[in-house]
Structure 1
C-alpha cells in the first residue's frame, strides 16, 4: 500500500465523527436556508463553497436584510479570519515534501474540527490525511444541508420551528463549556451579549446594517480583549 493511501484512510476514519456532527448542525442550516428563500441547490452550493457554520448563518442573516456585496465580503472576512491563522499553523506541521499544490487545497478544507484533529496527530502531517478528513466531513456537511433544505418544504411547520431552535442550542454548546471556570471568557461573552443588545436597541446604533454590526462588534470586542488581556506565553517557551 502506498504512503498516500494509509494516511488517507486514517483521515477517513478520524473524519467520520466530524461528518456525523456536521450532518446534525448543517441539517438546521438547511432548514434556515429554506426559510430564507434559498433553493436546496443554492443551500448545498453555499455549504460546499464556504465550510463554516458561523459564516453561513451570518450570510443568511445578511441575505434576509438585502445587505450589499461589500457588507457580505467584509463580514465573511472578519468571521472567517481565524482560518487564515489555522492554515498558517497547520502548514508548519506538514512533511517537507508537501508543497504549495497540497497546501492550498488543505487550507480550503480547514475548519475548527479538522484543524483540531490535525494538530493533535503526533509527528509530521501527510496532506493526504487531511484529504481523508475532508472527503467525509465536507460531504457530511453538504448532505445535512440538503436533507434540511428538502425537509423544510415537507415537514409540518411546528416541527420545522422546533428544529430551528437547534441552532441556538449549538451556539450554547459552543460557548458554555469553555466559559466554565474562566472568568475572562465569561466576561467577554457577557460583554458581547450586552453590546449586541445596545446595538439593536439604541436609536443611532440600531440604524447600522446587520453586516457592519457584526464587523464592528467582532473587531471591537476581540481587539479590546487582546489588548487588555493578552495570552501569556507558556512556560516552556520562556528562557
Structure 2
C-alpha cells in the first residue's frame, strides 16, 4: 500500500511531461499577455488561478477589448464548464470519505491533461496523486507564462507555432496508452473525433463555443457508453 508521499511522487513523475508541455504552450500566452498590456505579475497570477488555455486566451481577448466583468465571467463559465464533467468522473474514483478540503484543491487543479492521467489510475484515486501531478503542471504553466512575458516578441513566429503544437502532442500522449489496452475506449475516442469534426463542419453548430461543443459531445458519447458498456460498481475498488 502506497503512502501519501509515495502517491505524491507517483503523480509528480506522471505530471512532469504535462508540466513541460504546459511550459511550451503558456509561453505563447505570456507573449500575448504582454501585448495586451498585462505585467508579469498579472499574467502569472492569471495562469495560476485560471489554469485553462482556452479560458485564458479568451479572457485575454476580452480584457484587451475592455469587456465588462460580467461578460468575462459568463464567457469563462461557458468555456470551462467541461471541467464540471471531469470533476463528476473523478468524484467516482476517490474515497467517499474524502474531505471537502481535499476535493476543493483537486478541483482547482483539474485540466484536460491532469484529468486524463488521474482517471487512468487503477483503483481508487488518492488526492495526493493529483497533488503530485499538479505540483509539476501548475509551475510549468506559470513559469512558461512568466518567460513568455519577459521574452516578449523575441522568438520568431515559426518557433511560436511549433511550441503551440506541444499541447496536441501532450493530449495524444494522454489518450493513446489507455486506448491501446481497451477496445471500448479506442472506439469511443474515434467516435468523439468524428463528432468533433462534424460539429466544426455543420453550420447549425457554428455559433456554439468550443466549451459547449465539448459538453454536448461528452454527454452524448458518455451517456451511450454508460448504457451500452456499464462499469461494474467494484471496478474502482
CA deviations on 1:75-107 (whole Å, 9 max, x unpaired) are 000000011111121111012442211111100
Q: Is the 8 A contact 1:15 1:133 kept in 2?
A: yes
1:59-208 pair list within 5 angstroms: 59-152=59-152, 155=154, 159-166=155-162, 169=165, 182-191=193-202, 195=206
Q: Which moved more, 1:92-101 or 1:7-16?
A: 92-101
Structure 1 residue 236 corresponds to structure 2 residue 229 = yes
SS at match of 2:229: helix
State the distance in 2 between where 1:189 and 1:171 align: 20
Aligned to 1:203: none
Deviation at 1:116, TM superposition (A): 0.6
1:137–1:228: structure 2 CA closer, same or farther, 3 Å change rule? closer
1:126–1:186: structure 2 CA closer, same or farther, 3 Å change rule? same
Aligned to 2:52: 52
Q: Which moved more, 1:63-72 or 1:217-226?
A: 217-226
Aligned to 1:210: none
1:38–1:193: structure 2 CA closer, same or farther, 3 Å change rule? farther
Q: Normalising by structure 2, report the TM-score.
A: 0.76
State the distance in 2 between where 1:219 and 1:141 align: 20
State the distance in 2 between where 1:160 and 1:47 align: 23
Q: Is the 8 A contact 1:33 1:149 kept in 2?
A: yes
Q: Normalising by structure 1, report the TM-score.
A: 0.76
Aligned pairs, number: 214
Q: Is the 8 A contact 1:31 1:160 kept in 2?
A: no
Root mean square deviation, CA, Å: 3.4
Deviation at 1:65, TM superposition (A): 1.3
Structure 1 residue 40 corresponds to structure 2 residue 40 = yes
